[in-house]
Amino acid sequence: MRRSSILIISFFLFLACNHNTYKQGKVLYESNCAQCHMPDGSGVGDLYPALSQLGPDYNYSLISCYIINGKKSENSILEMVAIKGLSDIEINNIINYVRSEMNDLEGEVSIADTRKQIPECVQ
Amino acid sequence: MKSNIYTIIIVCVITIITSCKQDEKVGPLPYYGEKTVVNGDSIHYQIPEFKFFDQDSNAVTSKDMDKYIYVTDFFFTTCPSICPVVKKQMLRIYDKYKDNPKFKLVSHTLDPKRDTAEKLKKYAEKLNVSTDKWIFLTGDKDSLIDMSANYFISAYEDEDAPGGIDHSGLVVLVDTNRNVRASAQGTDPDDITELLSDIDRLLKEYETQ
Asked if residue B25 is part of any domain, the answer here is: no
Q: Give a yes or no: residue B65 inside a domain.
A: yes
Helices (H), chain A: 2-18, 23-32, 34-37, 62-69, 88-96, 111-121
Report if residue A114 sits inside a domain. Answer: yes
Q: What is the CATH number of the domain that holds B190?
A: 3.40.30.10
Q: What is the pLDDT of residue B9?
A: 72
Distance CA B119, CA B121 (A): 5
Within 8 A by CB and 6+ apart from B138, the residues are B52, B53, B54, B108, B109, B112, B115, B116, B117, B120, B144
**What pLDDT was estimated at residue A13?**
61
Check if the interface score ipTM surpasses 0.90.
no
Q: How many domains does chain B have?
A: 1
For residue B2, is it within any domain?
Answer: no
Lowest mean pLDDT among A10-14, B44-48, B84-88: A10-14
**Which of A16-20, B4-8, B65-69, B196-200 is the least confident region?**
A16-20
- State the Cα–Cα distance between residues B181 and B103, nearest whole angstrom: 14
Q: What is the CATH number of the domain that holds A48?
A: 1.10.760.10
**Which residue of chain A has the CA closest to B116?**
A77
Q: Confirm whether A81 is domain-assigned.
A: yes
Is there a domain that residue B42 lies in?
no
- DSSP, res A98: I
- Best B55, B81, B85 member to test A by mutation, with max A CBs in 10 Å, is B85
Domains of chain A: total: 1
Mean residue pLDDT of chain B comes to 90
For residue A86, is pLDDT > 90? yes
Spell out the residues 6+ positions from residue A62 whose beta carbon is closer than 8 angstroms to its own. A117
Residues spanned by the domain of B61: 47-207
pLDDT tens digit string along A18-30?
455 799 999 999 9
Structure confidence at residue A16 (pLDDT): 56
**pLDDT over 90 at B168, yes or no:** no
- Using a CB–CB cut-off of 8 Å, the residues of A that contact B are 35-36, 38, 42, 44-48, 76-78, 81
Q: What is the pTM of this model?
A: 0.82
Q: In what order do the strands lie in the sheet with B134-137?
A: B134-137, B103-109, B69-75, B170-174, B180-185
